[in-house]
Amino acid sequence: MKILVINSGSSSIKFQLIDMENLDVLAKGLVERIGISGSKLSYYKKGKTDVIEQPIKDHKEGINLIISYLIDPYEGVIKDKSEISAVGHRVVHAGEKYSGTVILNKDVIDALKACIPLAPLHNPPNIIGIEASMDILTGIPMAGTFDTAFHHTIPEKAYIYPIPYKYYRKYRIRRYGFHGTSHFYVAKEGAKKLGKDLEELKIITCHLGNGSSITAIKNGKSIDTSMGFTPLEGLVMGTRCGDIDPSIPMFLQKNEEIDYKEIDRILNKMSGLQGISEVSSDIRDVEKRAESGDNQAQLAIEILAYRIKKYIGSYVAAMNGVDLIIFTAGIGENDCLVRKMVLEDMEFLGIHFDSIANDKAIRKYGVISTSDSKITVMVIPTNEELEIAKQTLKVVLNEEK
């Protein structure tokens, strides 16, 4: 069976066609700049990438272009679109409704539309991608995998905010958590590598990318996570501030005489690594600048690492211990310096850091704690697309029974 995974953003569509017999990625790629100048498809197949530049008016044209390449007699990997057994869509927000991957139908799509106020930037393009695929790939089953779903098990004491309860009742203001597919995938992989059941472990997963979050997973279930009502809460990110005193936005609004839209822009687009360093949102640029003696750049990295360290400490307390800590995503998989800054001086917790192994574990699996460390620390490359494909296959097969 072949599963097409689609991650549809506001002006982009990422895709992968995966053969579920051997988990081989037959083709993958990215449509970018939809509806604006310079739109293109990057199409990757077995070691070769083609870039096709052409106007792509909307998501439907984007998906049509992807399909036409997948079935192209020369560049394609399948003869006909009917070879696609199912399509798995990534959807950011499913509110409180769904705790796992579900078959997409009108009712589910309506429920996802009802979540738009909770994820105004993410859900609309996700839904546009779903509707465009349904038009083009008629009759092929489609499933939705939600970033919020894995965090459904978080208990009330961790998801209710200490503001008047009526706002939870009225607006469903609560912690939802994101990156769930990635946290779940790396936790399962980590348990496999340890040779243990996920259900018997306490795990902390650090998904550190442009957006970052950290999750406490006890007996296979998410019990707390750093992102909250929106992906703004928690760790220091590329351009997002993460946790701050909630009175700062009000202070700025008053003293800078700016409106809520500007506050939103400052906290989401101008803060984090970018805001502190005044260099870049990409940690590679910030580290380069820090190496050349720039104190503000150095401070940005220290704040980012210190915040991760504090979250690890608090999740160890929340779970009464931890067996395994996992680093993943762009920074987690590649950045030895950040991992070192987080993990050093944690011996009291039972973390013994192996700095040589740390330097070697770049973009690949590695154990970066010493063999006598009570707590194992791993680097595990995430693979959200594969997890979406696996979950899609499961619900489609269930549906067929």
Residue 331 engages ligand ADP in binding (rule: CB under 6 A): yes
Q: Which one-letter DSSP state was computed for residue 140?
A: S
Q: How far from chain centre, in Å, is Cα 339?
A: 19
SS3 content of the chain, % helix, strand, coil (to 5): 45, 20, 35
Question: Could you give the 3-state DSSP secondary structure of residue 327?
Answer: strand
Residue 334 engages ligand ADP in binding (rule: CB under 6 A): yes
- Element at 25 (helix H, strand E): strand 24-32
Residue 211 engages ligand ADP in binding (rule: CB under 6 A): yes
Which residue of the chain is nearest ligand ADP when measured via CB? 330
For 271-388, list the strands marked E by DSSP: 324-328, 366-367, 376-379
For the chain, state the CA radius of gyration. Answer: 21
CB nearer ligand ADP, residue 69 or residue 327: 327
Asked if 3 contacts 123 with a C-beta cutoff of 8 angstroms, the reply is: no
Residue 284 engages ligand ADP in binding (rule: CB under 6 A): yes
Tokens of 248: 């700062």
Asked if 45 contacts 27 with a C-beta cutoff of 8 angstroms, the reply is: yes
Residue 258 Cβ, how far from ligand ADP at the closest point, in Å?
27
Residue 329 engages ligand ADP in binding (rule: CB under 6 A): yes
CB nearer ligand ADP, residue 230 or residue 334: 334
- Which listed residue (147, 224, 335, 354) is catalytic? 147
Tokens of 69: 């390449």
CB nearer ligand ADP, residue 226 or residue 373: 226
Stretch touching ligand ADP by CB under 6 A, among 76-84, 161-169, 300-308, 327-335: 327-335
Residue 273 Cβ, how far from ligand ADP at the closest point, in Å?
8
147 part of the active site: yes
Asked if 225 contacts 213 with a C-beta cutoff of 8 angstroms, the reply is: yes
Residue 235 Cβ, how far from ligand ADP at the closest point, in Å?
11
Residue 360 engages ligand ADP in binding (rule: CB under 6 A): no
CB nearer ligand ADP, residue 209 or residue 350: 209
- Cα–Cα separations (whole angstroms), residue 317 to 23, 136, 235: 38, 50, 18
Residue 381 engages ligand ADP in binding (rule: CB under 6 A): no
Q: Which of 11, 64, 153, 210: binder of ligand ADP (CB under 6 A)?
A: 210
Sites for ligand ADP among residues 220-279 (CB under 6 A): 238
Stretch touching ligand ADP by CB under 6 A, among 96-104, 166-174, 205-213, 317-325: 205-213
Residue 32 engages ligand ADP in binding (rule: CB under 6 A): no
- Cα–Cα separations (whole angstroms), residue 86 to 71, 130, 398: 16, 12, 13
Stretch touching ligand ADP by CB under 6 A, among 158-166, 193-201, 226-234, 280-288: 280-288
Q: Which of 282, 294, 344, 359: binder of ligand ADP (CB under 6 A)?
A: 282
Residue 209 Cβ, how far from ligand ADP at the closest point, in Å?
2
Residues present in the chain in total: 401
Asked if 258 contacts 250 with a C-beta cutoff of 8 angstroms, the reply is: no
Tokens of 330: 């762009």
Sign of torsion over alpha carbons 225, 229, 230, 233: negative
Residue 27 Cβ, how far from ligand ADP at the closest point, in Å?
20
Asked if 216 contacts 204 with a C-beta cutoff of 8 angstroms, the reply is: yes
CB nearer ligand ADP, residue 210 or residue 253: 210
| Interface residue list for ligand ADP (CB under 6 A) | 209-211, 238, 282-284, 329-331, 334-335
Annotated catalytic residues are: 147
